[in-house]
Amino acid sequence: MKKIILLLLILCGVNITYAQYKPVNQGSSLKFTIKNLGFDVDGSFGGLDGVINFDPDNADAANFDVTVDAATVNTDNNLRDEHLRGDSYFDVKNNPKIRLLSTKVTGKRGTYLLTGKLTIKGKTQAIAFSFTTAPYAGGYQFKGSFKIKRKDFGIGGTSTIADELDVNLDVFAKKG
């Protein structure tokens, strides 16, 4: 009985140590820019979900497991967006979520480095990028950017679209 009580106290202590947050759509944005025929095409995703365990004074204990709804892809062109939801691009029928899972977070108060895995269309690639954070409305605002290659994720094949794209994150997370 003493071992069970000790185990419960330890588990409760772990929950107290890590502040758990949930990303929310309101106040957040996930945007991308890619060249098509030499012109910038901007787009965005919504449907944020997941869990963020974050303590600004203990980055080593932080972890992120966040998804977006792939079907929410929006480039302000309905025809293009439907095409992007199809098999040769995001294949949202079989791959409804895009997932970012951290494997390590380092840094000091305000500026951090996230190392993790990004999964798009069932393909997972290693990723690392810096981000900043600040307290905001009872939670935290996380901001960062990175580049990825769409072909690494089997998106689009050969076309007039550039392989590399820029992704900008501005995610608000509140206590869950």
- Per-residue pLDDT tens, the chain, 176 aa: give them: 544 444 444 444 444 446 699 999 999 999 999 999 999 999 999 999 999 999 999 999 999 999 999 999 999 999 999 999 999 999 999 999 999 999 999 998 889 999 999 999 999 999 999 999 999 999 999 999 999 999 999 999 777 899 999 999 999 999 98
* Bridge partners, 158 (sequence order): none
Look at residue 45 in the predicted model and tell me its pLDDT. Answer: 98
Closest CA to 144 of 127, 156, 158: 127
Closest CA to 147 of 125, 122, 173: 125
In this structure, are residues 102 and 118 in contact, taking their beta carbons and an 8 Å threshold?
no
Cβ neighbourhood burial of 31 (10 Å; 0-12, 13-18, 19+): middle
Q: Please, what are the domains in the chain?
A: 20-175 (2.40.128.110)
